[in-house]
Amino acid sequence: MRSQRALLQWVERQALACRPVALRHFRSRSLRVERKPDRSPVTVADRLIEERLRRALARACPGESVVGEEFGRTGRDGATFWTLDPIDGTRAFSRGLPSWGIMVGRVERGRPTLGLIDFPAIGVTIGVAPGVAAYERGGGGMSRLRRPRRVRSLREAVVFHGGAHWWRPTRYAAGFARVVRACYLERAFGDCYGYLWALRGCADAVVDCAVKVWDLVPLAALAAATGRVLVDGSGRACHTGPVAVFASPQVARLIVKTLNTRT
């Protein structure tokens, strides 16, 4: 096994090699959007990218388990595995919006350790691994991702979310409405794009619903490296969904309390 730094560099190269595949189909007039059994959208780009990443992992890490959005779990079961979301934000991708990304994560002995998210449409990559500070690379430069600012109440907080309609059928519907009413500013920056802006210091929290392990493992690794947490609706550390709160520990507590307040 190569060092964590070398492993992250290798993952970044694999994601960058997928950029041309994604961009070839992005904003293509011939792009077809199909529906999976759960009615979520999928395109040929989703499948091609996941297949390419799976082949690369099979060569570099033979026998290790991979959990991907399009092709499920392969390899041996266990607490160490890779996660793949070939296009996080397929709806945005299919409508020509630039807010989608390619996500690769790694869980070691039950703990998310490595996260890499590439945003091909805007030419930005963010990543982290043990011993490697969380970074943003793009435009020929590289910078560290920011730690969260101090926020004393939700009235001061900027909160992003992936869309109000995901919350309506859940037991957190009323609490979510209270969160967005209470905060200083709320915006629906969906998928991995909202987390990029949070990690740049422009938002204090991202709250998500109906998310899966392949959506969250890279974000959990990035949260741990930047002074944030990724928790579920009860406030427990969680990288499997379906509810996620990404924020500083203090802001996460405020949001979880508001989500669960009964009036």
Residue 78 sits in a domain of what CATH number?
3.30.540.10
Compute CA distances 235 → 121, 228, 232, 251, 258, whole Å: 34, 13, 5, 11, 11
Tally of structural domains, the chain: 2
Cα angle at 122 between 120 and 22, to 5 degrees? 25
| Whether residue 109 is found in the same domain as residue 165 | no
149 occurs within a structural domain:
no
Provide the 8-state DSSP code for 147: P
| Whether residue 119 is found in the same domain as residue 25 | yes
Task: Take residue 190 and report the two structure tokens written for it.
Answer: 């969906």
Task: Take residue 253 and report the two structure tokens written for it.
Answer: 């507590």
| Whether residue 186 is found in the same domain as residue 101 | no
Question: What's residue 263's pLDDT?
Answer: 66
Q: Is the CA virtual torsion 108, 196, 205, 250 positive or negative?
A: positive
| Whether residue 81 is found in the same domain as residue 115 | yes
| Whether residue 196 is found in the same domain as residue 139 | no
Average pLDDT, the chain: 96
Range of the domain at 192: 154-260
| Whether residue 79 is found in the same domain as residue 163 | no
Question: What's residue 146's pLDDT?
Answer: 94
What percentage of residues in the chain have a pLDDT greater than 90?
Answer: 94
pLDDT at 239 over 80: yes
* pTM of the predicted structure, to 2 decimals: 0.96
CA distance 113 to 86: 19
Tens of pLDDT, residue by residue over 133-144, are: 999 999 989 999
| Whether residue 101 is found in the same domain as residue 161 | no
| Whether residue 85 is found in the same domain as residue 213 | no
83 occurs within a structural domain:
yes
| Whether residue 135 is found in the same domain as residue 27 | yes
CA distance 257 to 255: 5
